[in-house]
Amino acid sequence: MTCFLASAFLLVLQTYAAPTELVQVGFDITLDKMDVHSGLLGNVSGDVPPSPPPGTSKKAPQSIIIGVRKGGTRALLEMLDIHPEVAAAATEVHFFDWDENYAKGFEWYRDLMPYSYPHQITVEKTPGYFTSALAPERICAMNSSIKLLLILRDPAERVISDYTQVYFNRLENHKPVQAIENLLVRNGALNIRYKAIQRSLYDIHMRNWLRHFPLEQIHIVDGDALIRNPLPELEKVERFLNLPPRIVSSNFYFNQTKGFYCIRSDGRERCLHESKGRPHPAVNSTVLQQLRLYLQEHNRTFFRLVKRTFDWQ
pLDDT at 50: 76
Distance in Å from the first CA to the final CA of the chain: 36
Q: What per-residue confidence (pLDDT) applies to 37?
A: 39
pLDDT above 70: residue 36: no
The verdict on whether residue 72 carries a ligand-binding annotation is: yes
Q: What is the pLDDT of residues 205-243, one digit of tens each?
A: 999 999 999 999 999 999 999 999 999 999 999 999 999
Of 107, 121, 115, 111, whose CA–CA distance to 52 is shortest? 115
Q: Is 277 assigned a ligand-binding role in the annotation? A: yes
Position 257 scores a pLDDT of 82
For 227-284, what is each residue's pLDDT tens digit?
A: 999 999 999 999 999 999 999 999 999 988 878 899 999 889 988 766 556 678 899 9
Domain 57-306 belongs to what architecture?
3-Layer(aba) Sandwich (3.40)
Task: Tell me the pLDDT tens digit for each residue of 73-120.
Answer: 999 999 999 999 999 999 999 999 999 999 999 999 999 999 999 999
DSSP string, the chain: --HHHHHHTHHHHHHSPPPS--EETTEE----GGGS-TTTTT---SSPPPPPPTT-EE---SEEEEE-TTSSHHHHHHHHTTSTTEEE-SS---TTT-HHHHTT-HHHHHHTSPEE-TT-EEEEE-GGGTT-SSHHHHHHHH-TT-EEEEEE--HHHHHHHHHHHHHHHHHHTT-----HHHHHEETTEE-TTSHHHHTT-HHHHHHHHHTTS-GGGEEEEEHHHHHH-HHHHHHHHHHHTT------GGGEEEETTTTEEEEEETTEEE---TTTTPPPPP--HHHHHHHHHHHHHHHHHHHHHHT------
Whole-number pLDDT of residue 28: 33
pLDDT recorded at residue 132: 98
The pLDDT assigned to 47 comes to 54
The mean per-residue pLDDT over the stretch 184-206 comes to 97
Residue 46: pLDDT over 60 = no
261 is annotated as contributing to ligand binding: yes
Domain boundaries, the chain: 57-306
Q: What is the pLDDT of residue 280?
A: 81
Position with higher pLDDT, 186 vs 3: 186
Active site residues: 70
Residues 92/76/271/281 CA torsion (nearest 10 deg): 80
